[in-house]
Structure 1
Amino acid sequence: MSDTPSSPSADLLLEQELLGCLICAPEALAAVASSLEPEHFAQPLHGRLFEALKARHASGAPSSPVTLAAALKMDWSAPVADDMTVGQYVARLVADAGPPIMAKSYSADLRDMWAARAIGDAVSRTASSNGMPNEKLEALLDEIDTVRASMADAQVTRETAGESAQRLLEQINGIRCGEAQPSGATTGFTDLDRIMLGYRPGELIVLGARPGVGKTTFGTSSLLQSAKQGNGVMLFSLELSREAVAARLQADLVFDARFPLTHSQIRAGNGLSDHDFERIMGATARMNALPFEIEYAPRLAVADLGARVSAARKRLARAGVTLRVVAVDYLKFLKATDRYKGQRAYEVGEITAGLLAIAKDEGVCILLLAQLNRGIESEKDKRPDLHHLRESGDIESDANVVMFLYREAYYLEKSEAYRSGDLQALAEHEHVRNKLEVVVAKNRNGPTGTVDLFCDIGASAIRNLDWRYGGHT
C-alpha cells in the first residue's frame, strides 16, 4: 500500500471523513478509541494520523492541525498527493469532515472493510503458497479465525452507568406493559427458574454430576421443555451418538408414567407395540416443529464451537427464532489450544473463559455439563458441593451459576442391602426413585438452595415435582 492517499476508493473516502470528524470534534474519539486501531486503515498516512489523534486524546491534550504536525513529527510542507502538502491534505480532511454523530458508524464500517481486506490477502497468500492442500486450508482458516477474534475484541462494550440503568428501566417497563418478554429462557422447571431466573443471555451455567446420576438427561429434558416454549436451543453432543440423543428426546416427548418407554427400548426397536410406534411417530413430528438444533462433533475447540453457535443463531434468526440456550455435553470433550498443553487446570480455565465470552458475544446462555471427581464417593454425605468440581477452580469462578445433581436412588441401587433384596432398602428406594435434587451452590442471580424435581432416568424425563403420575407431556 502506498504511503500517499492517491486512490479515491470507498475505503479511503470513509477514512477521510472519519479523520476529518475526529480532528474537528476530538470528543468523538471516545466512541471509537476502544474499537479502532491504526492498522485498520487502508492508507498508512491515515493510520499515523489516527494514532496521533488517539495518543493526544489518551493524554488529555487538545488536537488540532497544528498540534498534529508536532505529534506526527512530519514535515508539514512535504508533498503527499495531487500536488498537496501534508498540511494541505489535513486541511482538506477538515473541510470534508463527516458529522460527529456518525463517528461510531464510520468506525464499524472501517473495521469491516479492514477484515474483508485481511481475509482477501490471506486467501491470495494461501493460493500462491506451497504445501499440501489440507495444510494450506488449515493455515487459511487459522488466519480467518484470527481476524474474527480481532473483530470480536473490537466490539464496543462501554457505556455509562446511566445508560445501563436506562436500558434496564426500558426493559422492565416493556415487560410490565406486556410489550416485551423477560430476557432469557425457562429451564422448564418452575422452582429452578424462580431461584436462578432461568437461562439468562450472556451467562455460563455449569451443571456437575457423577456419571449415571443424570446430567445428560437434565440437559436434554431442560432444552426440550424450553424449546416447547418457543426458545431456540442448541445441544453440542460431544459424547453421545445421533441415535442415542434422538432416543432420549423421543422417550421424553412420549413420557407417560402409566406407559413409560425407556430410551433403551426405543433404540432396540423390536419389542415395541404398534401403539408404542405410533407414539414415537407422533413425538418425531412434534420434534420436527421445535427450534432445536444438535451438533454431533466428537471433539471441538472453543473457537469452533463459537463459530457454530454464531451460525446457528443467524440461521434461527432467519426463521424468526431467537437462539437462547446452548448446552455442551460435556466439558471433557472440549479442546483447549496448545498454550497450556499438558497443564489441565489452565486448559480448563481457558475453555470456561472462552465459553463465557461466547455467551456474551452471541447473547445466549451456555449450559456446560461437567463430571465431578471421584472423591465424593468416599464421603458419607454424597450431595455434591463446589469443591467436587474436577480439574480447575476456574470452572467455579467463570460460572454465573453452578448446580449439582443428586439422586439418592442412584446410591441406594449401589448398596449391598438393596442388591441383596433387603425390604427396608427396597422401600427406601421406592420412596425416592423418582426424586432428583438440583443443588444450586453458586448463584449470581439470587439465593442458593436445593430444588426437588421428578425424574425417570430410564425414560429421560424430568418434570416439576408437582407433576402428577399419569400426566402427559
Structure 2
Amino acid sequence: MILSAPIYRLKRNARLLAREQRIPLHAALDRVAHREGYSSWSLLAARAARPAAGLSARLNAGDLVLLGARPGQGKTLLGLELAIEAMKAGRRAFFFSLEYNERDVIDRFRALGTNPSLDADLFVFDGSDGICADHIIARLADAPRGTLAVIDYLQLLDQKRTNPELAVQVAALKSFADRRGLTIAVLSQIDRAYDPAEKPFPDAADIRLPNPLDLTLFDRMCFLNAGRIHLGETGRS
C-alpha cells in the first residue's frame, strides 16, 4: 500500500477535517482517500489490507524497481506477493534467487495462501548458482510483455568476481526491461547503520553498496520497515 502517511494518521486527519469542515466523518474519510488517489475510503482500506496489490498497481512495463529493507522486514514476501499479483492478472512471473531454494519459495507461497503448482505455466523459479544479469536476460528472452521478474537480491549479483561490475549488470537489466516491456523488481539489503529511531523508513542513502552504482537506473524505490511500505523518491527524480 503506497500512502502519504500510515492509515492511523490518515484517519486522524479525517477526524480533524470533519471537525473543521463540520461534515460527517465518512465524508471526511472519502476526501482523504481522494487525496491519496482512491475513489473512496472503503477502497483505500481494502487496498491497505493487500500491500502488494497497491504497489503492483503503481508499476509499469519497463520499470526497474528496488525493494529495500533490513532482514526480517518482509522484502522477500513482498517480492513473492508481487509475483502472485502478476499471476492473478494472467501475467508470467519469474523469481531469481541466490538466497532461497525452490522448497523455501513454495513454503512461502503456501504461507501466503497460494499453491504455486496451480500456476506452473505462469511461475518460474530459478535458483541457479550462475545468476547474474546475463543469465537473467537469457532466461527472459522469450518472456512476453508485462512479465514480472523478481531478483533476490541486488548485492549477490556483485558477489562473483567473474561477473561484470554491478553497475554494468543493473544498466543491462534496465535497458532490457525497457526494450521488452518487462517489470523487474530487485530486492536490496539496507546498511546496518540505518536507525529506524531516526527516520521511519530507509531511503536511497541507506542502500548497501559495496561498489558504485548509479541509482538513477531505478525508476522506483520502495522501502519496508515495521510492517509498512513506503514508495520513496524515484531514482530518476
Same fold (TM over 0.5): yes
For the 8 Å contact 1:299–1:334, the answer to whether it is kept is: no
Partner of 1:231: 91
Partner of 1:189: 53
Query: Runs of 4+ in structure 1 displaced over 4 angstroms?
Result: 335-341
Change (3 A) 1:395 1:368: farther
Change (3 A) 1:398 1:336: farther
- Kindly provide the CA deviation profile for residues 51-81 of structure 1, in whole angstroms up to 9, marking residues without a partner as x: xxxxxxxxxxxxxxxxxxxxxxxxxxxxxxx
DSSP 3-state at the match of 2:198: coil
Would you say 1:330 and 2:194 are equivalent positions?
Answer: no
Change (3 A) 1:286 1:253: farther
Of residues 390-399 and 201-210 in structure 1, the stretch that sits farther from structure 2 once superposed is 390-399
Q: Choose 1 or 2 for highest CA Rg.
A: 1
**Structure-1 separation of matches of 2:96 and 2:173:** 13
- Kindly provide the CA deviation profile for residues 200-251 of structure 1, in whole angstroms up to 9, marking residues without a partner as x: 2222101100011111010011111221111111111221011101111122
Stretches of structure 2 lacking an aligned partner (at least 5 in a row): 1-50
Partner of 1:280: none
More helix by share: 1
Q: How does 1:52-451 map to 2 (within 5 A)?
A: 188-190=52-54, 192-193=55-56, 197-198=58-59, 200-253=60-113, 283=115, 286-288=118-120, 291-311=122-142, 313=143, 322-335=145-158, 347-377=165-195, 379-391=197-209, 394-407=213-226, 436-443=227-234
Change (3 A) 1:361 1:406: same
For the 8 Å contact 2:217–2:235, the answer to whether it is kept is: no
For CA contacts below 8 A with separation 6 or more, give which structure has more relative contact order.
Answer: 2
- Kindly provide the CA deviation profile for residues 358-395 of structure 1, in whole angstroms up to 9, marking residues without a partner as x: 21233201101000000114853352122101115635
**Structure-2 separation of matches of 1:304 and 1:356:** 14
For the 8 Å contact 1:208–1:372, the answer to whether it is kept is: yes
Change (3 A) 1:203 1:351: same
Give percent identity, aligned residues only: 23
TM-score by length of 2: 0.68
- AA of the residue aligned to 1:439: H
TM-score by length of 1: 0.36
**Structure-1 separation of matches of 2:133 and 2:234:** 24
**Structure-1 separation of matches of 2:116 and 2:221:** 33
Stretches of structure 1 lacking an aligned partner (at least 5 in a row): 1-186, 255-282, 342-346, 408-435, 447-473
Change (3 A) 1:335 1:390: closer
DSSP 3-state at the match of 2:96: strand
Change (3 A) 1:300 1:349: same
Aligned residues: 186
For the 8 Å contact 1:400–1:442, the answer to whether it is kept is: no
**Structure-2 separation of matches of 1:335 and 1:361:** 24
For the 8 Å contact 1:348–1:395, the answer to whether it is kept is: no
Change (3 A) 1:214 1:400: same
DSSP 3-state at the match of 1:227: helix
Change (3 A) 1:376 1:336: closer
- AA of the residue aligned to 1:231: R
**Structure-1 separation of matches of 2:101 and 2:224:** 23
Partner of 2:31: none
